[in-house]
Chains A and B, each alone.
Chain A
Amino acid sequence: MSKFKTKLLGNLAVAGMLVGGIGFGALAAMLTSKPELPPDARPDPAIFQVAASNTPGFPEIKSGDYNLVDHRGNRRTSKSPEGTFQLLFFGYSNCKAICSVALPNLAEAVDILEGMNAPVTPVLITVDHERDTVAALNDAVGDIHPKLVGLTGTPANLDAAYKAFNLEKKFLFEHVDEGAVYSHGSFIYLLGPDGAFKTLFAPVISPVRIAEISAGYIAAAGS
């Protein structure tokens, strides 16, 4: 068994033991502090696999159809210019509800995957284009994760993105301190480098589990 595989197995075992008590911050740190990993290391398909029990015919979403602008002002479609898998979430930078938990979880999953030498690009598509301008997103995304790509665009282009993922979003009310409050779908989507839908995660899924499942799809793509 390779050193890489042994270490990952050990880490996952520790992850299982940690559940319910210590939290995943320490685990994420442990997983991301592996300087001895070879540069070509990837999730081992012998360890990380797409669940064999997956039912064929899962109602896949239509994907690959968005054409937006990132927080640096660059055009970006669902095809990853980094050539990496992507974890996509719809939300807004002022969200104090589900985004405030889902986005840190997503960021932590990205760090865990980074520690496996499985870089994944986290992507946030705003549901609040009025406040989430390019400049506002540029200010906000770094606080969530240094690699987070914030996407905004014209209402028409954003609507196309929402439709591509059957994303329901709705203005709820104007909060006296926080401004506009929106409801919006809260699934996290795993997309391939080409933007193709791979799977989704309900927001209750832990960062470790998101990373573990994502690693299976990444390993499968590389095998």
Chain B
Amino acid sequence: MFSTHLKSLLGAAALAVASTSQTAIASTAGNVIEIKGEIIDTWCYFSGVMGDTDATRGSAHHTCALWCAAGGIPVGVRTDDGDVYMVLKFKGEDALEQTDTIMEVQSDFITARGVHYKRDGLNYIVVEDVVANDGITYLSHEDYDSVPPFSAPKKPKK
């Protein structure tokens, strides 16, 4: 049953990704863009397994997002208007190779400059430079605590 539910959610997620609005696309190659947004865990954000997408961002989901990134889940940059740019490459990495670099910026709100590609209806970006990093700005733990609850260390007994 979980599998069926998950697949339904994944379908919805795929449509959500596919329907993101676009900026102008160069006709000959990827074009350089600068975007502001939060580094997100694309699996938990799009799959819906954690419920509300806002709960899968920011401080509430930071620990889980680190685990997902460490496990190889691609990260994305989510802009304030909800567009998601799948990160193909982060500065210092080879394309598609996700190394520990991403762990240092997971969940941060960054200004990224890079090359934007559209592929099969999705946005991809090769991040060439992080122009600014504001750190974790979405303090979602105030509303959601820890998502999922087991992702945070247990509070010490009093």
The docked-state distance in angstroms from the alpha carbon of A98 to that of B13 is 16
Residue-by-residue, is A132-156 near B (CB-CB < 8 Å gives 1, otherwise 0)?
Answer: 0000000000000000000000000
Q: At the interface, yes or no: A206 with Cβ under 8 Å from chain B?
A: yes
- Taking a contact as CB atoms closer than 8 A, the residue among B3, B14, B28 that contacts A56 in the complex is B28
Min CB gap A121→B, angstroms: 20
- Apart from A55-B117, A58-B117, A206-B10: 7 A-B pairs, beta carbons within 8 A: A19-B15, A59-B89, A59-B117, A98-B72, A168-B97, A186-B72, A199-B119
Min CB gap B120→A, angstroms: 5
* Chain B interface residues (CB < 8 Å from chain A): 3-15, 17-18, 22, 25-31, 42-43, 46-47, 70-74, 86, 88-89, 94-99, 116-122, 124, 126
The docked-state distance in angstroms from the alpha carbon of A57 to that of B46 is 27
- Taking a contact as CB atoms closer than 8 A, the residue among B11, B71, B95, B124 that contacts A19 in the complex is B11
Tell me if B3 and A104 are in contact (CB < 8 A).
yes
Tell me if A168 and B99 are in contact (CB < 8 A).
yes
Residue-by-residue, is A43-66 near B (CB-CB < 8 Å gives 1, otherwise 0)?
Answer: 000000011011111110100000
Q: At the interface, yes or no: A129 with Cβ under 8 Å from chain B?
A: no
* Chain A interface residues (CB < 8 Å from chain B): 15-16, 18-25, 50-51, 53-59, 61, 97-98, 101, 104-105, 108, 165-169, 172, 183-187, 199-209, 213, 216
Tell me if A202 and B42 are in contact (CB < 8 A).
yes
Tell me if B126 and A59 are in contact (CB < 8 A).
yes
Tell me if B11 and A206 are in contact (CB < 8 A).
yes
Tell me if A24 and B11 are in contact (CB < 8 A).
yes
Tell me if B11 and A185 are in contact (CB < 8 A).
no
Residue from the set B28, B88, B98, B116 with the largest chain A CB neighbour count within 10 Å: B98
- Taking a contact as CB atoms closer than 8 A, the residue among A22, A105, A172 that contacts B8 in the complex is A22
Interface of B is mostly: mixed
The docked-state distance in angstroms from the alpha carbon of A98 to that of B96 is 16
Tell me if B14 and A206 are in contact (CB < 8 A).
yes
- Taking a contact as CB atoms closer than 8 A, the residue among A59, A186, A206 that contacts B95 in the complex is A59
Residue from the set A61, A98, A166, A204 with the largest chain B CB neighbour count within 10 Å: A204
Question: Provided the pairs A55-B116, A57-B117, A168-B72 are in contact, do residues A20 and B99 lie with their beta carbons within 8 angstroms?
Answer: no
Tell me if B73 and A19 are in contact (CB < 8 A).
no
Tell me if A55 and B30 are in contact (CB < 8 A).
yes
A98 cross-chain contacts in B, Cβ below 8 A: 43, 71-73
Tell me if B98 and A185 are in contact (CB < 8 A).
yes
Min CB gap B71→A, angstroms: 5
The docked-state distance in angstroms from the alpha carbon of A190 to that of B96 is 14
A206 cross-chain contacts in B, Cβ below 8 A: 7, 10-11, 13-15
Question: Provided the pairs A58-B119, A184-B72, A186-B74 are in contact, do residues A204 and B10 lie with their beta carbons within 8 angstroms?
Answer: yes
